Amino acid sequence: MKLYAPSTIRDIKDRYDFQLSKSLGQNFITDGGVIDSIVEGAGIGSEDLVIEIGPGIGVLTDAAADAAARVVAVEIDKKLMPVLAETLAGHDNVRVINADILKTDINGIIREEREAGTFTGDVKIMGNLPYYITTPIIMGLLEKGVEAESITIMMQKEVADRVEASPGGKTYGALSVAVQYYCTVSRIAQVPKEVFIPRPKVDSAVLKLSLRDSSPVELTDKAVFFSCVKHGFGQRRKTLLNSLTGVCGLSKQQIGEVLDEAGIDPVRRAETLDMEEFAAIANGVADRCGR
Ligand code: SAM
């Protein structure tokens, strides 16, 4: 019997008297093709460590454990611990941690595993994310400087569109700039809502975020850059002159000077700026911060 088959999920629910939790975003994959595309898209090698976010009943964990040297899966739901012990019993290279991913020290886990000699290759993060915390999970990993090569994750299609967006469109925003600052982004798969139990209201997509080796733009102060991005998109209908006034305590006149120096029309809006332009503004702001 296949682990991802709807009948297996029903059987597990019956035997463990387990109800799927909507509030924990428990929409389980029932399609082997989707599992293969995530594991193949993650590019897992036989020497790699995979950190999985939210294993559920272990369908991705099982496939990753066949491909990787070691898998560490972080699952918040205590009720799934005995289920995972059963479904992953055939693997001796899997460690399940019952914890909230948002409160988990991933770099600490990577260090522990490296010191224990469980892998010698790269670190790949993977998961079918609980959709209610997609953005905090992604930004948490990136802002804390996760020491991984890539993050291959399924999310709501609308969020994937925002992560991947280029300047000029409605979906382009602070999330696009933030993720693209840290990573290059590629789309691995489109996934229809019909392949989940229970069926969510929206379609999904799998993105691979490959961590950059170095910053794509030169910044005087990274915090000021992100503050400019936040201010700009915080009031996205306003002109840059207005939306950026106040950033780092700068007056409208000072923002006018910054935009002038950067050669950016003050009546433009944040959604038209590319990363280089945000960087030019941020560096001009940083020069005047505290003046
Ligand atoms: N990987 C399984 C699959 O694809 O069928 C389950 C994916 S399901 C969309 C999300 C999983 O994340 C659930 O098992 C849920 O319990 C777990 N989860 C929810 N919030 C979490 C959190 N804060 N930390 C860790 N796991 C969490």
Separation of alpha carbons 53 and 73, rounded Å = 6
Confidence (pTM) = 0.96
Q: Which two tokens stand for residue 278?
A: 């945000």
Backbone angles phi, psi at 208, to 5 degrees: -110, 120
What's residue 290's pLDDT? 67
What's residue 87's pLDDT? 97
What's residue 56's pLDDT? 98
Residues 125, 129, 130, 133: is their CA dihedral positive or negative?
positive
Residues lining ligand 1, CB < 6 A?
Answer: 24-29, 54-56, 59-60, 74-77, 100-102, 128, 130, 133
61 Cβ partners below 8 Å, 6+ apart?
A: 52, 55, 71, 73, 84, 87, 88, 94, 96
DSSP 118: S
User: Which segments of the chain have a pLDDT < 50?
Assistant: none
Condensed to tens digits (0 to 9), the pLDDT of residues 219-258 reads 999 999 999 999 999 988 999 999 999 999 999 999 999 9
Separation of alpha carbons 208 and 125, rounded Å = 10
Going by alpha carbons, the residue nearest to atom 5 of ligand 1 is: 28
Instruction: Tell me the pLDDT of the chain averaged across its residues.
Output: 96
Going by alpha carbons, the residue nearest to atom 20 of ligand 1 is: 24
Separation of alpha carbons 273 and 264, rounded Å = 9
- Quickly count: other Cβ atoms within 10 Å of residue 237's Cβ: 9
